[in-house]
Amino acid sequence: MITTVIADGKSEYEFIEYLKKRAQSSDKNVIPVVSEILENVRAKGDEAVRDYTLKFDGKAPERAEIPAEEIDAIIEKCDPKLIETIKKAAANIADFHRRQSQQSWLTTKDNGVIMGQRVRGLKRVGIYVPGGTAAYPSSVLMNAVPAKIAGVEEVVMCTPPQKDGTPNPDIIAAAKLAGVDRIFLMGGAQAIAAMAYGTESVPKVDKIVGPGNIFVATAKKLLYGVVDIDMIAGPSEILIVADDTADPKFLAADLMSQAEHDRLASSILLTNSAQLAEAAKAEITRQMQTLSRKEIIQESLDNYGAIIVCSDISQVVDFANELAPEHLEVCCANPMEYIGKLDNAGSVFLGNYSPEPLGDYFAGPNHVLPTSGTARFFSPLSVDSFIKKSSFIYYTEEALRADADDVVRFAEAERLTAHANSIKVRFDLD
Active site residues per annotation: 326-327
- Per-position DSSP letters for 13-64, written without gaps between them: HHHHHHHHHHHH---TTHHHHHHHHHHHHHHHTHHHHHHHHHHHHS---SSS
Long-range own/partner contacts, residues 86-92 (CB < 8 A, 24 or more apart): 86/137, 86/141, 86/170, 86/173, 86/174, 86/177, 87/177, 88/362, 89/138, 89/141, 89/361, 89/362, 90/141, 90/145, 90/174, 90/177, 90/178, 92/362, 92/363, 92/364
How many of the other CB atoms lie within 10 Å of CB of 25?
10
Cα distance between residue 258 and residue 237, in whole Å = 6
Identify whether the C-beta of residue 12 lies closer than 8 Å to the C-beta of residue 271: no
Cα distance between residue 157 and residue 139, in whole Å = 11
Residue 294: CB partners within 8 Å, gap ≥ 6?
288
Cα distance between residue 85 and residue 152, in whole Å = 25
Cα distance between residue 195 and residue 184, in whole Å = 10
- Per-position DSSP letters for 89-105, written without gaps between them: HHHHHHHHHHTT----E
Going from the C-alpha of 186 to that of each of 68, 73, 132, 330, 429, the distances in angstroms are 17, 20, 11, 40, 62
For 35-73, b/e burial (b = at least 16 CB within 10 A) is: eebbebbbeebeebbbebbeebbeebbeebebeeeebee
Identify whether the C-beta of residue 330 lies closer than 8 Å to the C-beta of residue 342: yes
Angle in degrees, CA 269, 271, 275, rounded to 5: 105
